[in-house]
Amino acid sequence: MSTSLWLYVVLIVLVGLERVAELVVSLRNARWSFERGGVETGKSHYPFMVVLHTGFLAGCLVEAIVADRPFIPALGWTMLAVVLLAQGLRWWCITVLGHQWNTRVIVVPGLSLVAAGPYRWIRHPNYVAVVAEGIALPLVHTAWITATLFLVLNIPLLTVRIRAEEAALDGALTK
Residue ranges of domains in the chain = 3-173
Band of residue 48 on the pLDDT scale cut at 50, 70, 90: very high
Q: Is the pLDDT of residue 174 over 70?
A: no
pLDDT tens digit string along 53-107?
999 999 999 999 999 999 999 999 999 999 999 999 999 999 999 999 999 999 9
Which of the following CATH numbers is that of domain 3-173: 2.30.30.30, 1.20.120.1630, 3.40.50.300, 3.30.750.200?
Answer: 1.20.120.1630
Band of residue 41 on the pLDDT scale cut at 50, 70, 90: very high
Q: Is the pLDDT of residue 1 over 90?
A: no
Residue 169 confidence (pLDDT): 86
| One-letter amino acid for residue 162 of the chain | I
Give me the sign of the Cα torsion angle 42, 115, 84, 30: negative
pLDDT tens digit string along 127-171?
999 999 999 999 999 999 999 999 999 999 999 999 999 999 887
Residue 173 confidence (pLDDT): 56
